[in-house]
Amino acid sequence: MELVIASNNVNKIREIREIIGGAFEKTYSLAELNIHCDPEETAEDFLGNALIKARAIREYTDKAVIADDSGLMVDCLGGAPGVHSARYAGEPVSDEANNALLLKNMEGRSPRTAKYVATMVLLYPDGSYKVGTGEVKGEIITEARGKGGFGYDPYFYSYDLQKTFGEATPNEKNAVSHRAMALHDLLKQL
């Protein structure tokens, strides 16, 4: 079976190929198939949004599709920003504005424990699907450390790595990340 990776993010595409690509005859990125598709993520949970992405791509192909949705969940904020992580501070999307709002909303609150979570959906041509989930735990620190990663990474201190995701190399992050865990969870089911 051939697989389409529903992402335009080169890091994600590489990570997905490394972990799960071997289970398929051939893998394609959206760019390789010239598919331009960016549906609105309107669901209230990660699985719902991953399915929206996967099903939107299936309109363009009869291959299997893998799509993910992920976010940051902070305990003292009741799990926010959650599914709203990408647009936490509204439009236009800005990591800087999201991080500033996160720190402001957390002022004076505890615990600062948090997790990144990811849901991966593998949608088959017949419409059936398998789901993998993963998470990585840490806490939100008050000052940025490191310039690596993206999004909330300079403020996310990983318990596994004993440093922020901003300070980690891509390989270090990929070894413990929520996306890697979700991919391994999916791989187990194939």
For ligand IMP (CB under 6 A), the number of binding residues is 15
Query: Binders of ligand IMP among 86-115, rule CB under 6 A?
Result: 86
Active-site residue, 185 included: no
- Label the pairing between strands 64-74 and 26-29: unpaired
Q: Looking at beta carbons, which residue is closest to ligand IMP?
A: 151
- E-only strand ranges, the chain: 2-5, 26-29, 64-74, 113-123, 129-140, 156-158, 163-164
Rounded to 5 degrees, φ, ψ at 45 are -140, 170
Interface residue with ligand IMP among 27, 85, 99, 164 (CB under 6 A) is 85
Among the candidate windows 19-27, 67-75, 101-109, 125-133, which touches ligand IMP by CB under 6 A? 67-75
SS3 79: coil
Report whether 5 contacts 13 (CB < 8 A).
Answer: yes
Determine, following the binding rule CB under 6 A, whether residue 155 of this chain makes contact with ligand IMP.
Answer: no
Determine, following the binding rule CB under 6 A, whether residue 116 of this chain makes contact with ligand IMP.
Answer: yes
Report how far residue 159's alpha carbon sits from residue 21's, in angstroms, rounded to the nearest whole number.
28
Q: Which is nearer to ligand IMP, 3 or 180 (CB)?
A: 180
Per the residue annotation, which of 38, 68, 69, 160 is the catalytic one? Answer: 69
By annotation, the residues acting in catalysis are: 69
Binding interface with ligand IMP (CB under 6 A): 68-72, 85-86, 116, 149-153, 165, 177
